[in-house]
Structure 1
Amino acid sequence: MTERISLRRLHAFVACAEAGTMTGAARQLFVSQGAVSVAIAQLERQIGVQLLLRSKAKGLTLTDAGRRLLPDARALLARADELQAGMRDLGHAPSGRLVIGCFTTIAPFLLPRVLEEFQASHPRVTLDFVEGSLTDLQQRLLEGECEVAVLYGVDIQAGIDYDTLYPTTPYVLLPAAHPLAAKGEIRLADLADHDMIALDVPPSLRYFNEVLSSAGVSPRIRHRTESFEMVRSLVARGVGYSLLIQRPIADVSYEGRGLVIRRIQDDVRPLDVVLARPAGVRLTGRAAAFTAFCHASAARR
């Protein structure tokens, strides 16, 4: 009968992939370096392929086989943890560690509230998070580094499923002294002759370009930046206008300079915020609880 892969060996493999060295993996697992080395050797011998390349200069590097195994190993270990927690806490609320992902510009407006409110309603769950770009978060989902992720519903890769949480629409951000600031609403065509400060975090810039092009406007981009607050600071200094989606409570820049928010008069295609997950993977109880929490929160918006 074929020998089953042990969870202990998979734990050692995942720890090596994350730590990059046998020593780091041993420290993470609270075992000796020799025990990690033996577990990896046994796993490689059992499945018949090399999973890790050893180098004094670079430490441990995943082979192609190792890269393919890693997300499945993480998912299997997470499922094993969920099974153990479920049996131990049968009849009780979800428990254990849940890692969620969040798109970088959404995170400051969403995560603090989510961390407080979800933790209050699910005190047995330890909630952690990672931030990143659209591409980065989807890769983390596929590799099992996070169970679910909040991001914009565009450019979704194969292997990712998602549910829509709520739609968003952009607004025009202006310096207080801008000639368009006196208007109650802004037509996109009015922006054609003004410089733009572009938030260049995919998919933001492409989406804003599509919004402007729908009105026949080719933006005059003066500066591009990946920083949300840099956009606001440059606009407050009078360098140009910008289009943004997330809106802080205070309409001032980091320097304390005033900003003006104006609605867009044109009909604009909304950009959905979604909750993404790996396709075909059964959610753990804690991830399912977080999903329900997100949908309930979105319904109250």
Structure 2
Amino acid sequence: MSHAITLKQLRYLVAVADTLHFGKAADAANISQPSLSAQIQQLEEALGTQLVERTKRRVMLTAIGSEVAERARRILAEVRDLTDSAQGVSPPLAGDLRLGVIPTVGPYLLPRVLPSLRRTYPELRLYLREDQTERLVERLKSGDLDTLLLAMPVSEPSFESEPLFDENFVVAVPAGHRLAARNQVSESDLRDEQVLLLEEGHCFRDQALAVCGHRRARDRDSFAATSLDTLREMVASRIGVTLLPALSVTGVSLPGGAVEIRPFAPPSPSRRVALVWRREAARGREFRVLAEFLRDNLPVGAEAVR
């Protein structure tokens, strides 16, 4: 007689898929490692196929194991939405909310809006996850996160989005640089400059390349940065110039006066930041309330989209 598949087993498989390590998966699932191994084995018996390859050195999912893990993510997300829907009579923005945010938005927006959000919605327990767009999107699809703050566009038909604000790009140059003598900078001014960029995977890197032109701006890949703060320090060290989103320099002290910020001549290149969630999520009404709150409490440097 075959075992019935349980949601618990699916959660454990997803934990193994995320970590590729039984010990780490057991810690994440708050279960002992032998118990987790036993549950995975029962799931394999129920499905009649091997899901996980176990060796002394590493853990890998089989091809069918990867497929089952992806379906498990969708099932767990559906169950979470079902639970949220059943509890939908509770007041908006109360309880746990897992918010994902990209690194070029989070540090510059959230500290300026979260204090008032907590005062307005004291029953809200907000858990933040900062990561690159691609990984956040996967976590939203799997139900690990409830909603995301992302730069648009995000081409995922299963998502719904609410635009929040438009944010202009600015140019950061070393003090005394030829462009520092100008009131405004044009995109063509960057043609022969060493334009410093974030490392691969950051959506802001792609947006900056779109502004500069892939061929016109000389991209110093060997100096690709992991954060906007690092980019500013590199500019201060006179390695090159860079593009920054306006919020990252509004009200921020720049390295020892060694960096000058100049706006683009109109029309300024910009990006649109939106709140994104699964189209089937039961808490869609709450997310729209959150979007409206964020639009009403934006800091200087962000222009609300109504």
What's the TM-score, normalizing by structure 1?
A: 0.77
- Asked whether 1:209 is paired with 2:223, we answer no
- Asked whether 1:239 is paired with 2:235, we answer no
Could you tell me the percent identity over the aligned residues? 26
- Asked whether 1:219 is paired with 2:232, we answer no
Match of 2:144 in 1: 145
In structure 2, how many angstroms separate the alpha carbons of the residues matched to 1:292 and 1:112?
19
Give 1:193 shift. 4.5
Indicate the RMSD between aligned Cα atoms, in angstroms: 3.6
SS in structure 2 at match of 1:275: strand
In structure 2, how many angstroms separate the alpha carbons of the residues matched to 1:19 and 1:192?
43
- Note the alpha carbon deviations across 1:127-184, whole angstroms, 9 max, x for none: 2222222222223333333232222214635655433322222112122322332322
- Asked whether 1:298 is paired with 2:298, we answer no
Match of 2:303 in 1: none
In structure 1, how many angstroms separate the alpha carbons of the residues matched to 2:16 and 2:104?
32
Give 1:185 shift. 1.7
Match of 2:185 in 1: 186
In structure 1, how many angstroms separate the alpha carbons of the residues matched to 2:27 and 2:192?
59
For 2:295, give the aligned amino acid.
A
Match of 2:167 in 1: 168
Give 1:61 shift. 2.9
Match of 1:228 in 2: 228
Q: How many residues matched?
A: 293
Where does 1:75-154 land on structure 2 (aligned, <5 Å)? 75-80=74-79, 90-93=89-92, 95-154=94-153
In structure 2, how many angstroms separate the alpha carbons of the residues matched to 1:144 and 1:198?
31
Q: Is the 8 A contact 1:184 1:263 kept in 2?
A: yes
Match of 1:283 in 2: 281
In structure 1, how many angstroms separate the alpha carbons of the residues matched to 2:172 and 2:206?
17
- Note the alpha carbon deviations across 1:57-78, whole angstroms, 9 max, x for none: 22x4333333333344345445
SS in structure 2 at match of 1:262: strand
What's the TM-score, normalizing by structure 2?
A: 0.76
In structure 1, how many angstroms separate the alpha carbons of the residues matched to 2:142 and 2:51?
15
For 1:209, give the aligned amino acid.
L
SS in structure 1 at match of 2:197: strand
Q: Which moved more, 1:49-58 or 1:81-90?
A: 81-90
For 2:61, give the aligned amino acid.
L
Give 1:111 shift. 3.0
Q: Is the 8 A contact 1:85 1:96 kept in 2?
A: no
Q: Which runs of 5+ in 1 are unaligned?
A: none
Match of 1:46 in 2: 46
Q: Which has the higher contact order (CA 8 A, sep 6+)?
A: 2
In structure 1, how many angstroms separate the alpha carbons of the residues matched to 2:156 and 2:92?
33
